[in-house]
Amino acid sequence: CSLEVVEVNPVLDIRNETAEIAVDLVLSALGKRIL
């Protein structure tokens, strides 16, 4: 099993939103309940 995570262009990222969403998605994939 593998997981690949990429982020959008940091220049276009407002207030680091996509990075925070990516962290939540990775945590969810590893078993953490985020909702």
Per-residue model confidence as pLDDT tens digits over 4-35:
888 778 888 889 898 898 899 899 999 998 76
Q: Where are the domains of the chain?
A: 9-35
> What is the pTM for the complete model shown?
0.67
Q: What is the model's pLDDT at position 33?
A: 87
Q: Which amino acid is located at 15 in the chain?
A: R
Q: From 8, 3, 1, 9, select the one nearest 27 (Cα to Cα).
A: 3
CB distance 23 to 8 below 8 Å: no
